[in-house]
């Protein structure tokens, strides 16, 4: 029987939904929607779906479920407003666990074999590499731009930057290796250095769902890892910002140019003239979109073609599987370093009676000294395949009651 989750655990789980970007599932009319929490839940939930949800209405109930470390959690919430794939709901009053019917994980059946392929082109490039994967997605601000025309794209970006900044530089690491503190930090983290005022500090927190900013703590950890004595970290950090102020910099932003897991370079913009407004989060958002389309333009224009990898299928050892996803391992290697959260894979699940073809997204990864562990969420699986996989894994018929639960109705 379902158990109501107590308040402290509920707050912890809602925090984890945002911090770990755990996928939340909504099923309706045999269609699966995957949502993520864009902001911390504080009275309301700001959700983004992988596509607009059909038939959504304000003041209607939305039934959702997610998997937290093998435990399926179910909750209902009321829709406040929505636009396209963005949905605002009330924070749920109750969460439920210990569900009698769920996508619980089971040991892999002995006659099941699984084979993977990357979806889309993959590259091996001589650029700094991060531990995150960046997808080729554009925001509304730059969708009107033509990614094929690299020169015009850079001109458009320069024109926008001149409205907000005194000057800027675009650096590609193919032309020059990172050497300065800022360059090394951007190359290592793949995140932006945002200093709204050189009379202040770096941000103490990063409110972006997929973290984009170098925070004050992150910068200090970098100083320590680069050899600064712990007793000198605070002084070095203060001196770093003070030197910028003394050189005439008022506000500054370094934004990485990311392509898949590579930091291709960065865009540096600054203000050193009185009377201009300091940079804000709106400037970060727009520059981030320009950096995205710049990376796509470089790909289209063949800058990465020499590093394109042959997309051969690969096998992983399956630890456990459920009707909603699986956990597999792969030995630590140069290849496995490309298996990153947000990577999408094609999956063949071969059984003696049927082969199920599906897509899967890597949603979490952790490693030990020998191998990596990759938790995947199935995506866009055909209803007939989902029914077959359920019955094959759990050894029982896929009943109407099970279908009602999967649809979030009970």
193 occurs within a structural domain: yes
130 occurs within a structural domain: no
Measured distance CA(108)–CA(116) in Å, rounded:
16
The DSSP result for 245-273, as a single string, is HHTT--EEEEEEEEEEEEEEEEEEEEE-S
Of 34, 63, 97, the one marking the end of a domain is: 97
Q: Do 154 and 215 have their domain in common? A: yes
Supply the pLDDT for residue 31. 65
pTM across the whole model: 0.70
Q: In terms of residue numbers, what domain contains 49?
A: 3-97
Of 268, 288, 304, the one marking the end of a domain is: 304
pLDDT tens digit sequence for 11-44: 999 999 998 888 888 876 546 788 999 999 989 9
Percent of the chain with pLDDT over 90: 52
pLDDT confidence tier of residue 293, bands split at 50, 70 and 90: very high
Q: Do 331 and 283 have their domain in common? A: no
Q: Do 200 and 225 have their domain in common? A: yes
Q: Do 279 and 155 have their domain in common? A: yes
pLDDT confidence tier of residue 408, bands split at 50, 70 and 90: very low
pLDDT tens digit sequence for 84-137: 899 999 999 889 876 544 455 666 788 888 999 998 888 989 999 988 888 877
Measured distance CA(167)–CA(320) in Å, rounded:
53
Supply the pLDDT for residue 400. 58
Q: Do 275 and 333 have their domain in common? A: no
Smallest CA-to-CA distance from 72 within 385, 377, 382, 391 is with 377
Supply the pLDDT for residue 139. 65
Q: Do 241 and 324 have their domain in common? A: no
- Tokens 């456990």 correspond to what residue? 320
DSSP alpha helix (H) spans, 135-280: 150-164, 181-189, 216-225, 233-246
pLDDT confidence tier of residue 140, bands split at 50, 70 and 90: low
Q: Do 159 and 280 have their domain in common? A: yes
DSSP alpha helix (H) spans, 301-356: none
Q: Do 153 and 284 have their domain in common? A: yes
Predicted confidence (pLDDT) at residue 256 exceeds the cutoff of 90: yes
Supply the pLDDT for residue 96. 84
Q: Do 287 and 393 have their domain in common? A: no
23 occurs within a structural domain: yes
10 occurs within a structural domain: yes
pLDDT tens digit sequence for 196-234: 999 999 999 998 878 899 999 999 999 999 999 999 999
366 occurs within a structural domain: yes
Measured distance CA(63)–CA(47) in Å, rounded:
13
Q: Do 269 and 225 have their domain in common? A: yes
CATH number at residue 164: 3.30.450.40
pLDDT confidence tier of residue 367, bands split at 50, 70 and 90: confident
Q: How many other C-beta atoms are found inside a 10 Å radius of the C-beta of residue 149? A: 14
Measured distance CA(88)–CA(61) in Å, rounded:
12
Q: Do 74 and 170 have their domain in common? A: no
Predicted confidence (pLDDT) at residue 405 exceeds the cutoff of 80: no
Q: Do 243 and 366 have their domain in common? A: no
Supply the pLDDT for residue 73. 85
203 occurs within a structural domain: yes
3-state secondary structure at position 288 = helix
132 occurs within a structural domain: no
Measured distance CA(291)–CA(258) in Å, rounded:
7
């Amino acid at each position: 029987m379902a158990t109501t989750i107590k308040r402290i655990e509920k707050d912890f789980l809602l925090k984890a939904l945002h911090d770990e970007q755990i996928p939340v599932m909504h099923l309706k009319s045999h269609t699966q929607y995957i949502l993520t929490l864009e902001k911390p839940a504080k009275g309301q939930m700001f959700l983004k779906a992988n596509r607009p949800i059909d038939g959504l209405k304000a003041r209607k109930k939305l039934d959702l479920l997610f998997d937290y470390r093998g435990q399926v959690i179910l909750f209902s919430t009321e829709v406040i407003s929505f636009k396209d794939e963005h949905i605002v709901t009330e924070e749920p009053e109750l969460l439920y666990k210990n569900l009698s019917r769920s996508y619980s994980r089971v040991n892999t059946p002995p006659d099941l074999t699984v084979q993977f392929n990357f979806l889309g082109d993959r590259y091996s490039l001589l650029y700094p590499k991060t531990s995150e994967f960046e997808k080729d997605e554009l925001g509304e601000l730059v969708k009107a731009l033509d990614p094929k025309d690299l020169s015009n794209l850079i001109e458009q970006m320069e024109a926008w930057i001149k409205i907000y900044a005194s000057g800027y530089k675009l650096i590609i690491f193919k032309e020059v290796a990172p050497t300065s503190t800022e360059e090394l930090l951007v190359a290592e983290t793949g995140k932006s250095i945002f200093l709204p005022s050189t009379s202040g500090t770096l941000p103490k927190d990063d409110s972006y769902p997929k973290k984009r900013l170098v925070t004050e703590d992150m910068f200090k950890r970098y100083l320590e890892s680069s050899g600064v004595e712990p007793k000198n970290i605070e002084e070095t950090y203060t001196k770093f910002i003070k030197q910028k102020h003394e050189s005439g910099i008022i506000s500054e932003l370094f934004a990485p140019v990311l392509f898949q897991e590579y930091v291709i370079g960065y865009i540096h913009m600054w203000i050193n003239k009185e009377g201009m407004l300091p940079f804000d989060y709106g400037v970060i958002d727009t520059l981030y979109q320009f950096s995205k389309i710049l990376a796509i333009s470089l790909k289209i224009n063949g800058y990465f073609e020499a590093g394109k990898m042959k997309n051969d299928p690969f096998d992983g050892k399956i630890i456990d599987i459920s009707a909603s996803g699986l956990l597999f391992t792969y030995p630590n290697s140069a290849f496995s370093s490309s298996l990153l959260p947000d990577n999408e894979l094609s999956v063949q699940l071969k059984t003696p009676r049927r082969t199920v073809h599906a897509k899967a997204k890597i949603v979490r990864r952790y490693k030990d000294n020998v191998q990596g562990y990759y938790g995947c969420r199935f995506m866009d699986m055909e209803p007939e395949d989902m029914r077959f996989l359920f019955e094959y894994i759990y050894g029982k018929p896929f009943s109407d009651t099970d279908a009602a639960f999967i649809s979030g109705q009970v």
